[in-house]
Amino acid sequence: MIARATSDDEADPELLALLRKSLGLDGGPANPATAETKVLENAQYVFDNAIDVALSPAKVKEAAETVWRLMQKKQYSTETWAEHELHPKAKDGSTVDFIFTMDLLNFSFWSGETEESKRFCIEYRGRRWTGYWSLVAALQRALEEGIEITSPGFWIKEDECTDTLLRHVFRSATDEEIPMLEERIQCLREAGRVLCTDFDGSFVNCVYSANYSAAALVNLLVESFPCFRDETAFHGRRVRLYKRAQILVADLWACFNGESYGEFHDIDKITMFADYRIPQMLHELGCLLYSPSLESHIRDKKLIPSGSNWEIELRATSIWCVELLRREIKRQHPELKRQKLLERKSVQQSEDEVTPANDKGEPTTQQHAEQISTNGSSAFGVNAILIDFFLYDTIKDLERDGRETIPHHRTRSIWY
C-alpha cells in the first residue's frame, strides 16, 4: 500500500505528503538534484539477475565508437527531432499538447500481417505511414480535418468525441485496424479526466509543476496518470521502466531544443526508452545476447507475454546496455567532459573566434568537440536519449532496406 489508511476512506496525510515530496510533487519547487525515477537502478537489478538476456562487454565497447562516429557524421542532435516532416514545428503550448497526445498513444504498432501491403497504415499527404509515424500522421490529419484531437477537454466530451469519431481519426488505408484501438480510447478518456480535473485542461501545467526537472515530470506522470505507470515485478522486486513517460519528457526536450517547455536541468537522468525496437538493434550490434530458447522464440515471432521474465529482461537489459554505451563513449572521448562548459558559449561567439589547427591544418580533437558543441550537432553532448533516437532510426532504416537479421520481439501492451 502507498499509505496506511486511518479510516475506511482517509489515507494518512503525513505518509501521502512524504510520498509526494519524494516524487517532487509536494507543491514546492522540485529539486533536480533529488528527484529520481529509479529506472536505471531497477534496470541494473534486472540485468544482474537475468538468465536469458546478457551483454557482450567487448561488443559494447566496439559499438560505442561506431555509434558515436555515426552520430557525429549525421550531426545527430535535438534538432534532428524537428527535422522530420510530420513532427510539429510550432514552439508553443499547442505543440506541448500535441506531444502529450502523441506519447499518450505511443504504443504497440507492430503488425501480425506478413505482407507489407496489408499492414495497418495511415494515408496522409500522398504517402502511407506505418509504425510510430502512422500515429503522428493520424494526429496531423485529424487536426487538418478540424478535429480537436490534441485537446483534453474534447476527449472527455463523449457526445462529441465519440468512439466512432476516434475510429475515423485512426482509420487505416488497409483492412487492418490500428492495434489496441479500445485501449487507446481508454487512455484518452482517462488522461482527459485527469488533466481537466487537476491541471486546468492542459499538459503545459504539468510541465510547470515539474519546475525544470525531467525526473520530477516523469514521476508526476506515473503518479497522476495510471496509463503511464509502466511498472512490473521481477523476482519479487518492483521494477520501473516508464518508457512512455520518459519518451514524453525526451520529446519535449528535443522539440524545444532544451529551452522553453523543453528546459530540464536534469535531462541526463532519463534513460533509453524500453520498447521492442532498441533490443532488436542492440542484438544487431552484437551487444545483446539471448539464450537459445529466447532467440528461437523471437525468430519464430511468437508472442512474449507482457510482464513475463523474458520481456522484463529484454527491456531492462536494453536500458542498462545503452547506459554502458553512453559511459563508454564518454570514456573513449574525454573531450566530452568539457561539454557543459562549452555549451554555454553562444554560436556567435564560436563564429567570431579563430580556431587554431594542428600541423595538418585540422582542428584538434578538443577543438573539434568545441565546434560540435556550439554548432548544434551535439549541443548537449551525448546522453541516453540521443543514443536511443539514433538506434531507433537505424533499425528502422535496416528494416526498410530488408537488412535486419532478427525480428523484434512481440509483446502487446500499452507500455510500448
Q: Give long-range contacts, CB 8 A cutoff, 24+ apart: 187-191.
A: 187/104, 187/105, 187/227, 187/414, 188/101, 188/104, 188/105, 188/155, 188/161, 189/155, 189/156, 189/158, 190/225, 190/226, 190/227, 191/100, 191/104, 191/152, 191/155, 191/225, 191/227
Q: What is the SS3 assignment for 81?
A: helix
Query: Are 410 and 301 within 8 A, CB to CB?
Result: yes
Catalytic residue among 97, 266, 275, 388: 275
Query: Are 335 and 365 within 8 A, CB to CB?
Result: yes
Residue among 104, 111, 119 nearest 149 (CA): 104
Residue among 16, 13, 32 nearest 24 (CA): 32
Which one-letter DSSP state was computed for residue 52? S
Query: Are 264 and 214 within 8 A, CB to CB?
Result: yes
Please tell me the total number of residues recorded for the chain in this structure.
Answer: 416
Q: What is the SS3 assignment for 223?
A: helix
> Identity (one letter) of the amino acid at 99?
I
In SS3 terms, 129-175 reads as ECHHHHHHHHHHHHHHCCCCCCCHHHHCCCCCCCHHHHHHHCCCCCC
Cell of 196: 481537466
Catalytic status, residue 275: yes
What values do phi and psi take at 409, rounded to 5?
A: -70, 155
Cα separations (Å) of 357 from 96, 334, 365, 367, 369?
43, 19, 10, 8, 13
Query: Are 52 and 290 within 8 A, CB to CB?
Result: yes
The catalytic residues are 275
